[in-house]
Amino acid sequence: MKFMYFFLPALPATHEERIAQRPIAYQTDRWQKMIAEVTEISRMLEDLGFTGVAFPEHHLHSEGLEMGSLPILTQHVIHNTSTLKVGPIGYVLPGWNPLRLALEIAWLDQLTKGRTHVGFARGYQSRWLNQMAQKVHVSATVTNQGELDALNREVFEEVFQILKLAWKDEPFRFNGKHYQYPFPYETGTPWAANEWTRLAGSPGELDDQGMIQAIDVVPKPFQKPHPTLFQAFSMSEETVRWCARETIIPTLFTADPVQVRHFAEAHKAEAATVGRELELGESMGVLRTIYGANDRKQAKKAMENGILYPFKNFFHHFGFTEGFRNESDNEKYGDKPLPVSECTTDRMIDAGWALAGSNYDIRKQMDALVEAGNPEWFVWQGDQGLLPLDEVKRNIRKIGEEILPHYI
């Protein structure tokens, strides 16, 4: 099993400080402290044998709770470590210009000599995605919302197809619903320096009249054909099967062992339809959190001040507590979403999403996960910025030294 640590990351602050000093995201010293903590923790993770670290891509969080990332943060962490693979899980594709993203990723991969991975996401936060994707008329999506959801997926998949074309060692043409290359597609793009391009550029870029008829994105990635690809954070079989066909590693948010097994088997079967013969759980990951302590009671106390804080205040409102739903909830709430009062440490632990307690407790939970789906990747949702740095590091060291060696 390969282990990856997932930062929010968060500006370090207590709840009281976030309220009293709103908006705390204006404070440069908080940003500097967050960057320093991310760097220090990443070095520690490397020493403990982690394969990589990751970030989400989110923006405009004036509360300082989930600051997300840009490629420059990935580059910073890579240049301050030696072996870690670093990158987002993931780039929210509908919010990017496809060519710009292909270039950002390829440049980053070249600068770091292949030490980045690439994750993709569709985007569930309207606060920033609706602003950045306005030219393609895309909105954020949380659940199946009919036309909005379909449009989001349509643009997501179109951008992904363009990325794959851009990373190939050849120029390409693309006539999509939202993007055309070259533009205008029907006539091509005028190019004054066509004689130079005909002499030294890629064959096929120009037509006989000197118009650009295909584009060639350079540089190509350092890793061939491209960096390892991940998909954030899946709760649907449709997404899992799509990832299997596209050679993308899905990271399951789903915690129920029966569903994890079902998704693992669906992933393996779907991969076989495109000639990928995988073992159960190979090229598949899960997102979980871990709290090591003397017992479950002590672990729950750390969780309440740690990961439960963003869940109750933020993630719950986007439907993530539904990932911890059980059969008794259907009797109690029917088709209605779970109320925030049901977002508890006990629910996270009982669902199998939070591995918490003594070493014995955590080993038992890890073994159950291996039995259910045997995921190749374990992505650990961390709590940097939520708990004091020393407490975060103590937990990482305990898990890294006492638990991970049994599974790496």
3-class DSSP assignment, residue 380: strand
Do residues 355 and 289 lie in contact, with contact meaning Cβ atoms separated by under 8 Å? yes
Structure tokens at 37: 């903590």
3-class DSSP assignment, residue 55: strand
Structure tokens at 15: 């709840």
> What is the H or E stretch that residue 305 is in?
helix 296-305
* Residue pLDDT, tens place only, 168-201: 999 999 999 999 999 999 999 999 999 999 999 9
Query: Band of the pLDDT at 148, cuts 50, 70, 90?
Result: confident
Query: Band of the pLDDT at 125, cuts 50, 70, 90?
Result: confident
* Residue pLDDT, tens place only, 216-228: 999 999 999 999 9
Can you count the helices (H) and strands (E) in the chain? 15, 12
Beta bridge partners, 229, equal 118
Q: Is the pLDDT of residue 144 over 80?
A: no
Q: Whole-prediction pTM value?
A: 0.95
Average pLDDT over residues 31-48: 99
Q: How far is CA 260 from the centre of its chain?
A: 18
Helix crossing, 71-79 with 28-47: angle to 10°?
A: 50
* Residue pLDDT, tens place only, 92-116: 999 999 999 999 999 999 999 999 9
Structure tokens at 277: 């013969």
How many whole angstroms separate alpha carbon 155 and alpha carbon 161? Answer: 10
- Residue 194: burial class (beta carbons within 10 Å; 0-12, 13-18, 19+): middle
Average pLDDT over residues 362-388: 98
Q: What is the DSSP pairing of strand 52-55 with strand 180-181?
A: unpaired
Q: Is the pLDDT of residue 34 over 70?
A: yes
Beta bridge partners, 68, equal none
- Four-residue CA torsion sign, 187, 193, 195, 198: negative
Contacting residues for 315 by C-beta, under 8 A, at least 6 apart: 321
Write down the domain spans for the chain: 1-84+261-270+282-408
Higher pLDDT, 48 or 147: 48
